[in-house]
């Protein structure tokens, strides 16, 4: 992947995971870039189809485009960082991400966004005042 393309994707994401919003600065390794629509589904390596994803979100998402909503049991597409607004589908409850919609609930489940390790990192960042994503007006946050 050309370095210029990768830099543009990381700048757009503000060096944070575009799924769970964990900041790159909290980790020693570089977050991989995710093909939102995987190559095996004919997704292209282009700016509009790439997202920064932490290792957990990237590995859990894999080539998935959908999952099962844990509330309704219905097949639901996953959150798409280019087409969807994060706050339409998710909200904060302390370090925990809650789904506002079937897309949010399904994405949280498939990507395991509230894994205990992720919660611990977010809680530490909140305690240190280093998780500005929670300071969104009108959101149910700490």
Range of the domain at 115: 3-134
| Model pLDDT for residues 99-128, shown as the tens digit of each residue | 999 999 999 999 999 999 999 999 999 998
Domain for residue 142, yes or no?
A: no
Domain for residue 125, yes or no?
A: yes
| Model pLDDT for residues 2-14, shown as the tens digit of each residue | 799 999 999 999 9
Structure confidence at residue 26 as a pLDDT band (50, 70, 90): confident
Structure confidence at residue 40 as a pLDDT band (50, 70, 90): very high
Domain for residue 7, yes or no?
A: yes
- The pLDDT score that the predictor gives to residue 83 is 96
Domain for residue 87, yes or no?
A: yes
Distance between CA atoms of residues 54 and 22, nearest Å: 7
Comparing CA positions, the residue from 133, 26, 33 lying closest to residue 86 is: 133
| pTM of the predicted structure, to 2 decimals | 0.89
- The pLDDT score that the predictor gives to residue 2 is 76
Tokens describing residue 47: 């700016």
Domain for residue 80, yes or no?
A: yes
Comparing CA positions, the residue from 109, 119, 126 lying closest to residue 70 is: 109
Domain count, the chain: 1
């Amino acid at each position: 992947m050309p370095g210029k393309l990768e830099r543009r994707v990381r700048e757009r994401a503000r060096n944070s995971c575009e799924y769970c919003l964990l900041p790159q600065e909290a980790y020693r390794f570089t977050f991989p870039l995710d093909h939102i629509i995987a190559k095996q589904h004919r997704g292209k390596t282009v700016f509009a189809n790439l997202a920064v994803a932490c290792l957990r979100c990237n590995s859990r998402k894999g080539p998935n485009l959908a999952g099962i909503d844990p509330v309704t049991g219905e097949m639901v597409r996953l959150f798409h960082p280019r087409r969807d607004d994060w706050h339409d589908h998710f909200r904060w409850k302390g370090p925990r991400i809650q789904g506002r919609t079937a897309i949010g609930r399904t994405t949280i489940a498939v990507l395991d966004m509230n894994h205990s390790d992720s919660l611990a990192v977010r809680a530490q960042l909140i305690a240190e005042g280093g998780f500005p994503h929670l300071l969104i007006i009108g959101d149910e946050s700490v």
